[in-house]
Each structure stands twice: as structure tokens, then as C-alpha cells.
Structure 1
Amino acid sequence: MKKIIQSPTWDRIVTILKNETLCVNELARRIGLERPHMIEAAKDPATGICPELAARIHYAFPA
């Protein structure tokens, strides 16, 4: 059985999605991405989040 490890980065993204009542596609558009694949990659702890994506999210949602 494969053990699923939660990504802290993904947990933070989910918090933004809930607080702003957005879906992943809407979040992608709000931060200037055409598709949400970079955001969805954060679900995997091995992939995580790239600095550019982190900066875009922080700029759009500084709190």
C-alpha cells in the first residue's frame, strides 16, 4: 500500500482556495497562469513549488 504524504505547500494553497472561495483554475488565472498544472504539482511533496510560483501567489495574496 502506498503511503500518501501531505505537502505543506499544498495545504497552504488549499487554505488560500478556501479563504478566497476559488477553484484551482481561478487561482491560476488570478496569478497570471493559463493552466493550473504548476499549482497542482504542489500536491506532490517531491515536486513542491517553484520560487516563481511562490512569488506570484505571495504577490496576489500577501496575507
Structure 2
Amino acid sequence: MSEGTQRILGTITNARFLDIGSFRQVVGGTLEGKTFYSEPIEGIDGDIIKTKSGNYRYSRSIH
């Protein structure tokens, strides 16, 4: 794709914000039948999501 071009992937379902503070948000959900996170995930332990920038807990659904 050329610079400035975006591709619309589809609708994220079952989306949730990860609780990472007021200045940054990571979204987790399902995209095209697969688990999707808006930031690379290094591991999952229960409801804790581990990323390079920290460990986050699922918080609330997006409506």
C-alpha cells in the first residue's frame, strides 16, 4: 500500500478496553474470527495481558 493509504479490515466484536491509564488505550476483541489486540501481546495470564509497555487488566466493554 502506498503512503497514506489505509485498509479497512472489518468490525471488531466483543471489544474491550484494557485498563492502562487515562492517556493510552489498547483494545482487545475479535476481528475476522481471530483474537485481536491493538498492541502486540507477549502473553496472557488470566485476565492480565502482558505487552512491551506493561501488564494490563481487562476493564469494560465498548458499547
TM bin (shorter chain): under 0.3
Whose RCO is larger (CA < 8 A, sep 6+)? 1
Query: TM-score scaled to structure 1, two decimals?
Result: 0.27
Greater share of residues in helix: 1
**TM-score, normalising length from structure 2?**
0.27
Larger radius of gyration: 2
